[in-house]
């Protein structure tokens, strides 16, 4: 939830208005346009009223990435910190897997285009659900979930694919390898969170990340079995 800020309708307006004599205000003044911000009027009780949003706001970073806040969850700081680190790796890798699924959903081709186009989109949707669950688990533990794709790219261990289109079996193999990397991390995460007593994170690793990943890997792997289509 965003930090509560003073509304433009409160009496706190003298300082912000003067503070807004900044680049935006100077630029607006030189161009002859109106400065975005509340136009004051009074409601007759000494309160200023305005429906103009406060635009172009900047703020301080409230919590640094890689830190955890104190939450009363019956889990130690060390436990929550370790879980957040494990979950962060899985979150970044899962965001990349989601993106890989969408890329290959779009770039699919050949005789099995239709079924793979649909299957990869279904898997992408399921991975996106996992992204949200993992991110919110990190927030629940007091951490900061990685969200910006450029930050995700710095964290993930999944290799970057070529920008162009690969052959279909190579696309599927790439997805399978990404799945296995996530599963290795999830098994480690499950064991370490269990050892530290973080049952909620353990459950997320086992019931969601591992179960979903294993099932999706099975569906992909069956498309790489070279079976005759007509003659036995
Ligand atoms: Fe689509």
- Given a cut of 80, is residue 10 above it in pLDDT? no
Residue whose C-alpha is closest to residue 119's, from 5, 222, 227? 222
CA 173 to ligand 1 centroid distance, Å: 21
pLDDT value, residue 49: 81
Q: Which 3 state secondary structure label does DSSP give 195?
A: helix
Residue whose C-alpha is closest to residue 137's, from 170, 91, 92, 69? 91
CA 113 to ligand 1 centroid distance, Å: 12
CA 124 to ligand 1 centroid distance, Å: 10
Q: What is the mean pLDDT of the chain?
A: 88
**Whole-number Å distance between alpha carbons of 94 and 138:** 14
CA 195 to ligand 1 centroid distance, Å: 41
The answer for 192, left when phi > 0, alpha when psi is -120 to 50, beta otherwise, is alpha
CA 176 to ligand 1 centroid distance, Å: 20
- Range scoring the smallest mean pLDDT among 2-6, 41-45, 207-211: 2-6
pLDDT value, residue 28: 46
**What are the tokens at 228?**
């005759």
**Whole-number Å distance between alpha carbons of 53 and 171:** 47
CA 208 to ligand 1 centroid distance, Å: 24
Task: Give per-residue pLDDT as tens, 151-171.
Answer: 999 999 999 999 999 999 999
**What are the tokens at 81?**
């910190």
Task: Give per-residue pLDDT as tens, 15-26.
Answer: 444 444 444 444
- Given a cut of 90, is residue 147 above it in pLDDT? yes
């Amino acid at each position: 939830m965003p930090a509560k800020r003073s509304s433009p309708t409160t009496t706190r307006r003298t300082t912000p208005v003067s503070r807004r004599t900044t680049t935006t205000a100077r630029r607006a003044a030189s161009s002859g346009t109106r400065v975005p911000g509340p136009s004051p009027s009074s409601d007759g009780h000494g309160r200023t009223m305005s429906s103009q949003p406060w635009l172009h706001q900047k703020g301080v970073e409230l919590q640094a990435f890689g830190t955890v806040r104190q939450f009363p969850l019956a889990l130690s700081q060390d436990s929550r910190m370790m879980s957040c680190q494990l979950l962060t790796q899985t979150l970044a890798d899962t965001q990349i897997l989601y993106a890989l699924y969408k890329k290959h959903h779009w770039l699919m081709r050949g005789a099995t285009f239709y079924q793979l186009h649909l299957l990869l989109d279904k898997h992408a949707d399921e991975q996106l659900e996992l992204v949200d669950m993992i991110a919110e688990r990190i927030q629940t533990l007091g951490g900061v979930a990685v969200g910006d794709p450029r930050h995700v790219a710095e964290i993930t261990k999944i290799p970057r694919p070529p920008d162009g289109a690969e052959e279909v079996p190579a696309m599927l193999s790439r997805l399978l390898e990404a799945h296995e990397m996530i599963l290795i991390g999830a098994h480690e995460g499950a064991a370490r969170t269990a050892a530290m007593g973080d049952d909620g994170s353990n459950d997320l690793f086992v019931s969601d990340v591992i179960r979903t990943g294993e099932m999706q890997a099975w569906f992909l792997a069956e498309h790489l079995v070279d079976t005759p289509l007509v003659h036995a």
